[in-house]
Amino acid sequence: MHILVVEDEVRLARHISRALINAGHEAVVLHDGESALTATSRSRFDLIILDVMLPGIDGFEVLRRLRKAHVDSRVIILTARGEVTDRVAGLSFGADDYLAKPFAMQELVARVIALGRRYAEKAPIKLELSDLVLDLTNNELHRGTRKIELSVRELTLLRVLMREPGRVFTRTELCEKVWEREHEYDMKLVEVFISRLRRKIDSPPLIHTVRHLGYTMREEP
């Protein structure tokens, strides 16, 4: 799933995003409500993990504005321990679930999976580009009638690219989205994975190198 994490405690936010990425999701991390509202107006997230206590606009207000703007992403709010009123308020503002701090990462990941399942039952989602079809409910990938097996990271990379066909992603951006690292060394990793993807899925080519910029997926006319 494409998940937005809104949490001002930087270390906790990083732990959460790492756990999500390791569980095969894509995670975008933001540290305040304003930027969360901007991000959700620009792209669609399957799930938002939203801390209540944020600087500036708090989590409840973010949630209220999201629902007012008809953003239908599922939302898990992170509340302070034992604050029953917080939970009630969160659910009444349209949260799908809540988790009291402190929580175990496994617990969070389990909730994410549960929400994903509930959502998948309602709306099976596929990403399609030409004859390449990725079923997001079970991660099955087909090119035409051929079934293709990908590793978890390969799948994540492919999902990132397929979600926004035609958009050029820099290597740095892909690194952050798929591996959450920013070092020089990892740029090579992106190239390695791109060439693996190409070998597995890319005939005729859908993954294109944009010189000096990065990569994009699109169907050539």
Q: Interface with Ca ion by CB under 5 A: which residues?
A: 8, 51, 53
Nearer to Ca ion, 8 or 135 (CB): 8
| Cα torsion 111, 113, 118, 123: sign | positive
List of residues 6+ apart from 151 with CB closer than 8 A: none
Instruction: Report residue 26 CA to chain centroid gap.
Output: 3
Nearer to Ca ion, 52 or 158 (CB): 52
Nearer to Ca ion, 19 or 77 (CB): 77
Nearer to Ca ion, 8 or 202 (CB): 8
* Cβ 125 to Ca ion shortest distance, Å: 31
Residues 14-40: b if buried by 16+ CB within 10 A, e if exposed:
eebbebbbebebbbbbbbbbeebbeeb
* Cβ 184 to Ca ion shortest distance, Å: 33
Q: Which residue is nearest to Ca ion (CB)?
A: 53
* Cβ 127 to Ca ion shortest distance, Å: 33
* Cβ 116 to Ca ion shortest distance, Å: 24
